[in-house]
Chain A
Amino acid sequence: MNFSDKITSLHLDVLKEIGNIGAAHAATALSDLLQKKIDMHVPMVEMVSFNDMMELAGGSENVVVGIFLRIEGDVEGSMFFILPIEQANRFIRRLIRDDSFDFYAPPVSEIGLSAMQEMGNILSGSYLSALSDFTGLKIYPTVPGLSVDMFGAIISIGLIELSQVSDTVIVINTSIFEEDIIDDEAVRGHFFLLPDPKSFETIFKALGVSTE
């Protein structure tokens, strides 16, 4: 399968739009949840090697909070919501109104973990339901899992399906940030959507830009 040859700028635009719509809904949900202005960047659609994938959130050893779920239904793939620890701490402190909460200091309180899990649930749910509405495709997310660990260890689970058919990954990457700390690169969250290779055609067909 030499899929990359068939992808045109039109297809890339479609994938960007998917990132745009999904992440915009998720950012709105986050903004409501925290009563705080959340902004986002134009999504990036990148075809990268596995090792380059590791660099998209600060390197494979960078410790992050990661929410992961599998997407099933008409489209299959993996979805991640990745936050730097500092950012996750700020969000959760605000959410549970406890300034002492800290992912860096295990054992992390149950309430904080559960709030993080719930945040992941809400955000990925709003991302994917927006996507489902937009494409008319059935999309069923699994219950998200939470891990506070090295980015490489977390993201590699999303590469397993892909690695069977390819050595590269097409990732729809949308970053979000709090409006008042725009300058701080280190505190930026990411939504990563990694459709399984066979699902791209389904997405393109649903939006009328088939590659065939």
Chain B
Amino acid sequence: MILSQINEVVKVGIAQMDVVKMPNTIRTSGLGSCVGVVIYDESKKIAGLVHVMLPDSSLGRTESVNEAKFADTGVAALVNLVKLQGAQSFKLKAKIAGGAQMFQFTSDKNSMRIGPRNVEAVKEQLRKLNIPIIAEDTGGNSGRTIEFNPETSMLNIRTVNRGVSDI
């Protein structure tokens, strides 16, 4: 009998984050204007994923801050989380997806353009932390479900209207 490894898919909800090691994969579904940020260490086969909703924690007016909700706090918190699992900071790389505009509006209200603003904010944080973006699939007007495999460092992206791709 072959000893089968139990491959688990760790699911990350909206405004949440988590970390996995090979052979497990990590996944978040139904990204619209939100952005899924994967930060990984290729040699250690460790990856973290955060599902951010808003660009900047200064937008938040709650007493307790959920770090994973915002791009500025979420990216930094995720980096800490993957480092705690043994990832080395100089090896960290990123792949990002999401930031769509699901509905076309003439309204210039800021919250309606939240997708592009989320993408921009995530990129700025990654730049600050010197983490290179290896691949991205952002913008457009499609929802995305993404799954990252730390073993292959591939990010699988599923959409309703544009099929499936790996980046």
Contacts and interface: CB of A to CB of B under 8 A. Distances in A.
Interface string A146-174: 11111111101101110111110000000
B6 interface: no
A150 B29 contact: yes
Interface residues of A, number: 32
Contacts of B104: 145
Given A163-B54, A163-B69, A165-B62, A153 B31 contact: yes
Interface stretch (B10-18, B38-46, B80-88): B10-18
B53 interface: yes
Most buried by B among A142, A153, A161: A153
A166 B60 CA distance: 8
A148 B160 contact: yes
A145 B30 contact: no
Nearest to A153: B143
A61 interface: yes
Contact of A159 (B14, B107, B161): B14
Contact of A50 (B13, B31, B106, B161): B13
Interface in A48-82: 50-51, 54, 59-61, 63, 68, 70
Given A59-B30, A147-B103, 12 more contacts: A51-B14, A54-B14, A145-B102, A145-B104, A149-B32, A152-B143, A153-B32, A153-B143, A156-B33, A156-B34, A163-B15, A164-B60
Interface of A: 50-51, 54, 59-61, 63, 68, 70, 106, 142-143, 145-154, 156-157, 159-161, 163-167
